[in-house]
Amino acid sequence: MDEHQHRLTSYLAAYIDELVGNGVDEVVISPGSRSTPLALLFTHHHGVKTYINVDERSAAFFGLGIAKAKQKPVAILCTSGTAAANYYPAVIEARYAKVPLIVLTADRPHELREVGAPQAINQLDLYGKHVKWSVDMALPESSPGILKYAKSSAARGVSMALSAPAGPVHFNFPIREPLIPALDESTFTPGRRDKRVINGVRGLTTEMRDDLLRILREKQHGLIVCGPGVDSSAIDSIMAFSEQYGFPVAADPLSGVRSGLHSKGNVIETYDAFLKTKEVLADLQPDIIIRFGSMPVSKPLTLFLKGLPDVPYWVVSSGEEWQDPTAMATEFIYSDEGSFCHDLMAGAEVKDSGWLQKWKKANAISRSILQADDQPWNEGKAVKQLVEQLPEGASIFASNSMPIRDIDTFFFNNDKKISVHANRGANGIDGVVSTALGMSTGHTPLYLLIGDLAFFHDLNGLLIAKKYGLDMTIVVMNNNGGGIFSFLPQASDGTYFEELFGTPMDLDFSSAAAFYGADYQLVKEEIDLASALSLAREKKGIKIIEILTNREENVAIHRNLWNFVSQEIVSELKGNTP
Amino acid sequence: MDEHQHRLTSYLAAYIDELVGNGVDEVVISPGSRSTPLALLFTHHHGVKTYINVDERSAAFFGLGIAKAKQKPVAILCTSGTAAANYYPAVIEARYAKVPLIVLTADRPHELREVGAPQAINQLDLYGKHVKWSVDMALPESSPGILKYAKSSAARGVSMALSAPAGPVHFNFPIREPLIPALDESTFTPGRRDKRVINGVRGLTTEMRDDLLRILREKQHGLIVCGPGVDSSAIDSIMAFSEQYGFPVAADPLSGVRSGLHSKGNVIETYDAFLKTKEVLADLQPDIIIRFGSMPVSKPLTLFLKGLPDVPYWVVSSGEEWQDPTAMATEFIYSDEGSFCHDLMAGAEVKDSGWLQKWKKANAISRSILQADDQPWNEGKAVKQLVEQLPEGASIFASNSMPIRDIDTFFFNNDKKISVHANRGANGIDGVVSTALGMSTGHTPLYLLIGDLAFFHDLNGLLIAKKYGLDMTIVVMNNNGGGIFSFLPQASDGTYFEELFGTPMDLDFSSAAAFYGADYQLVKEEIDLASALSLAREKKGIKIIEILTNREENVAIHRNLWNFVSQEIVSELKGNTP
């Protein structure tokens, strides 16, 4: 081993050892030259599972998916140049979705920067404000001080990625040729960890608690909102809090609250349907709102909350965030969600039992209509069928745009421990296939519900499924274009609409399935979906179920259903109250 | 029209009118909601050609390709969120390849920024240091002053994108709902342009010229290097300069110098082969180097230049650049390339005619071997066949990694006016299909030479070909993985090599062709390529010719060929010179 190889190996191995020691044991690698020493060392480390993913955009979303599924930091590694820029969409999603992603980019050494060397771009601060920390590492050296620095950087990066709000960190590694490290038994010292971070949890002081309790005790009609990203370990506490105060819990499908074994007596899941009905809004106005997680998907809920200007609106989160798109929040409470509930339960009592009943009744009426089987076959009904047939313990990943909205409408409270996921950091339709595949490494069986546009966008993501034996059922709603735009005002005018927004692609996904070696079934009618799902359950690998639907019909049927819910709500609810 | 719609329409129409007035008449749009008013207005403008491209990563490269082909600024437009982050790879390529790209991103208005609103990310300075100018535009207003500001921003952005070195500029447009502008006859005032930029050209002063002439007159053995990006209008002047001084011209395939009707007597095109031969290097050492364009692709040439520490090395470019990866340049000359040649031709004379002959002889020997038809069938030979069969006036786009290197070896001087292109800003393998398709809007017939990895990376780019009737022949060298890595030191060790670098994908591109409605032919043997190319010439649309090759054989054959060139060079050249 020459001096260069010694420096290269000891420096990068020290860094990797410390990453692993701090819990980073999966890395997604995209092939490249400059990243060779890091790629070889990760592969050589017994404590690391590696995935190879050619398209860096997909690779980054795949890493994001693993991190989301396993609730741990995951590393992604690529070579220099635009390869690293392909990570950007997933890095941004990680930032807003609070996912700990360790982004590793190899770079040319300083003397080859900004001088027209091949595959050399300015990689310093490549991800701008979208990473929590960005480090341009020193060139490899082997002095004890520099090895300490490498380890310290690794430990610190993992800690920063994990601390609330979690997010991506970026390490840029300038490396000189030759790029071959020494790979032998003594390369690593596994089990050794230099630094550990014990990251305390935020809680309320007695003064803070008393101050909040003073406000809370004056209120009778509280509304708890659980949005995406509620801490799953806090759900029981939130339910207990809700029961002691007699407050309904409006729970987003991504909150984790609609499904599982916890008590769900106060969980309201069809608010998106009944809050569209103006006539009932007055009866349901809370005098305090307490939100956990970010804003729910439902637009009617957002508009409803926006229409309550004088109501205290608390937003509880464990990190310093400003999740307030309506600008109506009055208190930002940075505290662990579970402790917050415990702290504020002292002396809680139900003051108006009728309040909770009103919400539960509206919910019951909406749910019975939405659950009825008499609507015509359309996207919504297909989603309803899919949800009904999900096996115990299954997970569903919903793409953005229409799928997550249909899930919001048709994913009813249940005890099946079904987890629902989506990329709701930046709500993109990019990288959805890869994120879901990443999640499938930790959640099985996994179902991906996706539209044709998003499916097309990240078809590349499917490449690695065969190699790693990944298992996922993909239900593609093919309405030949961007279905959600048909719900927007753009659609009513019509000028240039089909050209700009309908985006018909006329794609036959059966040949895409053939290209990726995936199983494929086409569903044209209602009766075929159940058997397609049951066939898919019997097979391993990627199973694509394509459902052909119609955009215009879909809009009409959704609107009819919502109108019907409104009518029923008005007649039942307003008929009973004077 | 209400006040909001009036503001929205007049502001954005003023901006677009001024863009068009300053030469931006093609825009690539990716569907989205927030970008609706800009998308509708561009579509409504009679002077603008629009393309719809769903995947923003491909869309941006497609726009880059149009701009490269037509040598003019092209706009790309997308919605808010990660959509805009997908532009990043192409934006970076545009920066380093000096392509004027007008990047337009729609954004949420200020009150919805950084508060957890859906699809809202921090888009300010989204592309960091990789754009020449980044503007967060004001919200739409309709006062005369603000309309002037909108027009001024547009004109200034186009000018900045175009001025040397050209590159991307970014406009971020915050827009409030409702998003529908008024579309009627009076929306635009076509033909009206507020501002024009007359951007002078850099030239040498008399003092500068005399100073450089003093150095030049002392030299006898000059070497002119033409790299990628030489100003095509300067080629005749460079040739005249070369002839007057008796200096050989080492011309990269991307310099535009190897093909066309200009005089090519002094053009050396096989230096990559003979500069691998140590024995001849001493005879070919220049006493001055004058480079136009950026560094050529050839590694042997780079190493050769790097081994000449005491030789004046001039780098001539029309903008302020620092293209000096070897750090050996001694003079950076910022001047129009054509004027530089004219200025320095005063009193030029050939001092040693033997010097030019040595280079021409080495070139002739190498060329005759490389052109011989007796090598076994392999990737190189396929490229040679492809090049030989290119029709007059054709263009070829070479992907990075192996294709551009094979083109360097086998694209010989010719009079066919064949233009050769590649993405050599950042040398990525991403976005190649889309860039080539963009170029096909201005260059026909276009041939894309690409490996399986790069082809896979941007398969999505093929989607728009059918819709816009694009015509391109794609020759895919499928060696089932990353062929170039087999030439690197990583390959010789072998540990983890196939896993990390070989990247076998086992893909059958015939089903990809079916998915995109492309014509497909498989070539397994030498004899089939000619007929495949001739069949492709008779059809319109996307024609994929997949050539199956073998990575290990390919390396062996390339190495054998290079060794043979070396032997012949040594025996012929050294046998003749004492």
Using the predicted structure, report yes or no on whether residue A416 has a pLDDT greater than 70.
yes
**Strand order through the sheet with B446-451:** B419-421, B395-398, B446-451, B472-478, B542-548, B519-523
Average pLDDT, chain A: 94
A88 vs B83: CB contact, 8 Å cut-off? no
Phi, psi of A543 (to 5 degrees): -120, 115
Q: Looking at chain A, which residues constitute the CATH 3.40.50.970 domain(s)? A: 3-174, 374-561
Separation CA B188–CA A299 (nearest Å): 35
- What are the CB-based long-range contacts (under 8 Å, 24+) for A497-503? A499/B43, A499/B52, A500/B29, A500/B31, A500/B36, A500/B39, A500/B40, A500/B43, A500/B52, A501/B31, A501/B36, A502/A551, A503/A453, A503/B31, A503/B52, A503/B54
Using the predicted structure, report yes or no on whether residue A576 has a pLDDT greater than 70.
no
Distance from CA of B545 to the nearest CA of A (A): 17
- DSSP per-residue codes, B34-45: TTHHHHHHHHH-
Over the stretch A171-229, which tens digit does the pLDDT of each residue have?
A: 999 999 999 999 998 899 877 789 999 999 999 999 999 999 999 999 999 999 999 99
Q: Do B76 and B446 meet the contact criterion of CB atoms below 8 Å apart?
A: no
Q: How confident is the model at residue A493 (pLDDT cuts 50, 70, 90)?
A: low
Give me the pLDDT at residue B578, please.
38
Letter for the amino acid at B454? A
Mean per-residue pLDDT, A41-70: 97
Q: How far apart are the first and last CA of chain B?
A: 88
Over the stretch B258-267, which tens digit does the pLDDT of each residue have?
A: 999 999 999 9
Q: Do B468 and B51 meet the contact criterion of CB atoms below 8 Å apart?
A: yes
**CA neighbor of B17 nearest in space, from B200, B195, B274:** B195
A118 vs B427: CB contact, 8 Å cut-off? yes
Distances in whole angstroms, Cα of residue A544 to Cα of each of A1, A213, A532, A533, A535: 50, 52, 10, 10, 11
Q: How confident is the model at residue A346 (pLDDT cuts 50, 70, 90)?
A: confident
Over the stretch A54-65, which tens digit does the pLDDT of each residue have?
A: 999 999 999 999
**Residue among A53, A78, A121 with most chain B CBs within 10 A, to mutate:** A121
When mean pLDDT is compared across A303-312, A555-564, B426-435, the lowest value belongs to: A555-564
- The CATH number of B379-549 is 3.40.50.970
Mean per-residue pLDDT, B12-30: 97
Separation CA B447–CA B419 (nearest Å): 10
Separation CA A30–CA B74 (nearest Å): 31
Using the predicted structure, report yes or no on whether residue A471 has a pLDDT greater than 60.
yes
CB nearest B499 (choices: A33, A52, A500):
A52
Q: Looking at chain A, which residues constitute the CATH 3.40.50.1220 domain(s)? A: 206-368
Please report, rounded to a whole number, the percentage of residues in chain A having pLDDT higher than 90.
84
Using the predicted structure, report yes or no on whether residue A494 has a pLDDT greater than 80.
no
**CA neighbor of B360 nearest in space, from B426, B284, B297:** B284
- Check residue B259 and report its DSSP letter: B
CB nearest A125 (choices: B44, B128, B459):
B128
Distances in whole angstroms, Cα of residue A574 to Cα of each of A272, A475, A530, A569: 19, 39, 38, 7
When mean pLDDT is compared across A39-53, A332-346, B561-575, the lowest value belongs to: B561-575
Give me the pLDDT at residue B16, please.
98
Domain A374-561 class, CATH top level:
alpha beta
Separation CA B544–CA B540 (nearest Å): 12
B488 vs A33: CB contact, 8 Å cut-off? yes
Q: Chain A: residue nearest B491 by CA? A: A180
Give me the pLDDT at residue B489, please.
75
Q: Do B75 and B24 meet the contact criterion of CB atoms below 8 Å apart?
A: yes
Please report, rounded to a whole number, the percentage of residues in chain A having pLDDT higher than 70.
99
- Work out the angle at residue B84's Cα, subtended by the Cα atoms of residues B80 and B86, and round it to the nearest 5 degrees: 140
Three-state secondary-structure class, residue B129 = helix
How many other CB atoms are found less than 10 A from the CB of residue A320? 10
**CA neighbor of B34 nearest in space, from B1, B83, B74, B75:** B83
Letter for the amino acid at B355? W
Q: Do A291 and A316 meet the contact criterion of CB atoms below 8 Å apart?
A: yes
Q: How confident is the model at residue B401 (pLDDT cuts 50, 70, 90)?
A: confident
CB nearest A430 (choices: B33, B86, B129):
B86
Letter for the amino acid at A141? E
Chain A residues closer than 8 Å to B505 by CB: 54, 463
Q: Looking at chain B, which residues constitute the CATH 3.40.50.970 domain(s)? A: 3-174, 379-549
Mean per-residue pLDDT, B55-66: 98
Using the predicted structure, report yes or no on whether residue B21 has a pLDDT greater than 70.
yes
Enumerate the β-bridge partners of residue A314.
Answer: A290, A331
Using the predicted structure, report yes or no on whether residue A399 has a pLDDT greater than 90.
yes
What's CA B440's distance to the chain center, in Å?
13
Separation CA A557–CA A570 (nearest Å): 20
Q: Do A385 and A362 meet the contact criterion of CB atoms below 8 Å apart?
A: no
Mean per-residue pLDDT, A220-245: 97
Chain A residues closer than 8 Å to B546 by CB: none
Using the predicted structure, report yes or no on whether residue B414 has a pLDDT greater than 50.
yes
Which residue reads 């027009």 in tokens? Answer: B151
Q: Chain A: residue nearest B228 by CA? A: A116
**CA neighbor of B564 nearest in space, from B371, B283, B383:** B371
If you count residue pairs, one on A and one on B, with CB atoms under 8 Å apart, how many are there? 244
Tokens representing B489 are 């030191």
Give me the pLDDT at residue B493, please.
67
Using the predicted structure, report yes or no on whether residue A577 has a pLDDT greater than 60.
no
Distances in whole angstroms, Cα of residue A128 to Cα of each of A92, B17, B123: 10, 32, 10
- DSSP per-residue codes, B423-485: --SS--SSSHHHHHHHHHTTSSSEEEEEEHHHHHHTGGGGHHHHHTT--EEEEEEE-SS-GGG
**CA neighbor of B292 nearest in space, from B199, B203, B218, B224:** B224
Higher pLDDT, B463 or A483: B463
Using the predicted structure, report yes or no on whether residue A1 has a pLDDT greater than 90.
no
Please report, rounded to a whole number, the percentage of residues in chain B having pLDDT higher than 90.
84
Using the predicted structure, report yes or no on whether residue B349 has a pLDDT greater than 90.
no
Using the predicted structure, report yes or no on whether residue B502 has a pLDDT greater than 80.
no
Furthest C-alpha separation in chain A: 89
Distance from CA of A111 to the nearest CA of B (A): 8
The bridge status of strand B288-292 relative to strand B222-226 is parallel
When mean pLDDT is compared across A409-423, A526-540, B112-126, B478-492, the lowest value belongs to: B478-492
Over the stretch A259-282, which tens digit does the pLDDT of each residue have?
A: 999 999 999 999 999 999 999 999
Average pLDDT, chain B: 94
CB nearest B85 (choices: A89, A490, A505):
A89
Distance from CA of B404 to the nearest CA of A (A): 13
Yes or no: domain B3-174 corresponds to CATH 3.40.50.970 = yes
Phi, psi of B156 (to 5 degrees): -65, -40
**Residue among A515, A516, A520, A544 with most chain B CBs within 10 A, to mutate:** A515
- What ipTM does the predicted assembly reach? 0.96
Over the stretch A515-546, which tens digit does the pLDDT of each residue have?
A: 999 999 999 988 999 999 999 999 999 999 99
Chain A residues closer than 8 Å to B500 by CB: 29, 31, 36, 39-40, 43, 52
Domain A206-368 class, CATH top level:
alpha beta
Using the predicted structure, report yes or no on whether residue A109 has a pLDDT greater than 60.
yes
